[in-house]
Structure 1
């Protein structure tokens, strides 16, 4: 009997210890409704913050430029009510030929090392200023994959690029900034999907640029390669089409060449170069890319004669005065 009483005593003690916790979890009655209202779905959605990979990428770029003491190149502009980043490099010679507007590929940034960074840093040495623009992401990394796939299927025949209006507005804002600095001649240069935006911008604004450079052009998933290639028929400006010829791009390259041949202005240069020979020479392929672009600009844009006077030499620094 004593044993049973001891067990009951232990049970009662344990229950008394847990009672406050249980009471604390019990909801307080309020008026006639003793049960609290469940949280609304809207409130739950507000607590979930979608990741912003492009914003994060740009912040990392700013930090990298600051560490390299290059943050003075950052220019924040505005277009269609949105601010965006550009990297501005002025010409490093006394006379400026013009400005090259550089557009990076999808999910990259204005200092991407493959092609944009080498060109934007090298061309100022040859009298060209460079403006590399932040291009909005096409594929949102936070978006569901199924939604992206469905959109791609439905929009394959679209004649407009994703977020085209905003991207075009950013190009215009960058050009306006350069014009305010006395720049009159512009060249559009794009890398991969950025090349598609450069092509579309010049096709829709034929007087905005003096030349076009396409570096390894790729079509966004919302536009077919054939539809993209047909835009070249509207380009009455010298064009350099520098691409890597492989099984996936050979047909696209053929369509671009055919479209160029169909232009009514037969005397406008269209130069299509396979980049593979430059890649297999064992030399620095980025330096070869710079040379290709530099040579194209020199031959196909209005060149300003560089007239830099030689410094006056004080002969007294090098010769002794004649003895009287």
Structure 2
């Protein structure tokens, strides 16, 4: 009888321990500070699932263009904003008409990589100044080449991309945007065009005129830079396809700029040309400080004046009304 009683007590102790362990586990899963006891939970109640995190991929160019629109609106210049379309995709262009009674033509402007159509280094001063000298300006949005918000993807070189890397990044889209910009200007009555590019934008302007030989009367390259998939030599060789006069305004920081040498050689190798390549080392202009932008404007204005068809803007003086200069007789 004693043996049975001892065994009975041992079984009861094990059952009690198992029950307490289960209750402890259930209490440990309850939310901290909760007043709900384990006995109040029912099988129908479920623990809420954790919300899935949404990772927002930053879009620097979109943010940059939105900030530009906001800035222009604050400055009451939002009337310059034009939303054009190319390849079924909208893009921004900034339009300023000639501020004189006649228009010489329009300067199509392309900014450098990771910038915008009103970038202060070169595009903005020229965009604002040229209308005062009878040129309208159209500065268009160029898609980013290097996506700073995306990881760099390194791919193995193939025969295709090493033997023929002749096309610029996004070239088809950029060319379509340039053509859409030209079409817009033509709708405003503009007949003569010149192209101006800054940094990598100069490479696009160069390539577009090389592929569309009758699209413009002149080309201005400002601190031209090659895109990542093209060498300086390959970019320079495209000058051989351009007959129009070219202003090559660049900064020679080393005193031996091989890229500028290749551009000059390519220009000399042209067999069919209607204008020269004018190279200007911008370094002396840059060291003048605040006057450097004004000197850039003078360089571009003078180049276009000498190398494009100029409309005669001489006007006859208005006939003077003598009443403005002579006193009328007094009747007594």
Rounded Cα–Cα distance in structure 2 between residues aligned with 1:309 and 1:134: 41
In the TM superposition, residue 66 of structure 1 has moved relative to its aligned partner by 0.6
Aligned partner (choices 313, 316, 322) of residue 320 of structure 2: 313
Does the Cα contact within 8 Å between 1:185 and 1:209 map onto a contact in 2? Answer: yes
Pair 1:66-2:47 in alignment: no
Rounded Cα–Cα distance in structure 2 between residues aligned with 1:302 and 1:179: 17
Aligned to 1:172: 179
Pair 1:104-2:111 in alignment: yes
Pair 1:272-2:279 in alignment: yes
Pair 1:211-2:218 in alignment: yes
Distance 1:19 1:237, change over 3 A: closer
Distance 1:131 1:310, change over 3 A: same
* 1:232-251 alignment, distance < 5 Å: 232-247=239-254, 250-251=257-258
The alignment partner of 2:278 has SS state of strand
Q: Which moved more, 1:69-78 or 1:280-289?
A: 280-289
| Unmatched tracts of structure 2, length 5 or more | 1-20, 33-37
In the TM superposition, residue 142 of structure 1 has moved relative to its aligned partner by 1.4
Pair 1:127-2:134 in alignment: yes
Does the Cα contact within 8 Å between 1:77 and 1:83 map onto a contact in 2? Answer: yes
Number of corresponding residues: 299
Pair 1:50-2:50 in alignment: no
Rounded Cα–Cα distance in structure 2 between residues aligned with 1:60 and 1:249: 39
Pair 1:185-2:192 in alignment: yes
Distance 1:19 1:205, change over 3 A: closer
1:49-71 CA-partner distances (Å, limit 9, x unpaired): 31110000000000100111101
Structure of larger gyration radius: 2
CA RMSD of aligned residues (A): 3.2
In the TM superposition, residue 318 of structure 1 has moved relative to its aligned partner by 2.8
In the TM superposition, residue 307 of structure 1 has moved relative to its aligned partner by 3.8
Does the Cα contact within 8 Å between 1:157 and 1:224 map onto a contact in 2? Answer: no
Aligned to 2:237: 230
1:1-52 CA-partner distances (Å, limit 9, x unpaired): xxxxxxxxxx9998886565497xx9x89xxxx9xx999xxx97xx333111
Does the Cα contact within 8 Å between 2:244 and 2:273 map onto a contact in 1? Answer: no
Rounded Cα–Cα distance in structure 1 between residues aligned with 2:90 and 2:286: 37
Distance 1:71 1:249, change over 3 A: farther
Aligned to 2:88: 81
In the TM superposition, residue 141 of structure 1 has moved relative to its aligned partner by 1.0
In the TM superposition, residue 97 of structure 1 has moved relative to its aligned partner by 0.5
Rounded Cα–Cα distance in structure 1 between residues aligned with 2:261 and 2:217: 24
In the TM superposition, residue 323 of structure 1 has moved relative to its aligned partner by 5.5
Does the Cα contact within 8 Å between 2:242 and 2:273 map onto a contact in 1? Answer: no
The alignment partner of 1:284 has SS state of helix
Distance 1:323 1:163, change over 3 A: same
Aligned partner (choices 119, 143, 157) of residue 150 of structure 2: 143
Tell me the TM-score normalised to structure 1 length. Answer: 0.84
The alignment partner of 2:185 has SS state of helix
1:100-140 CA-partner distances (Å, limit 9, x unpaired): 00000000000000000000000000000000000000000
Rounded Cα–Cα distance in structure 2 between residues aligned with 1:279 and 1:70: 29
Rounded Cα–Cα distance in structure 1 between residues aligned with 2:96 and 2:251: 28
Distance 1:177 1:16, change over 3 A: closer
| Unmatched tracts of structure 1, length 5 or more | 1-10
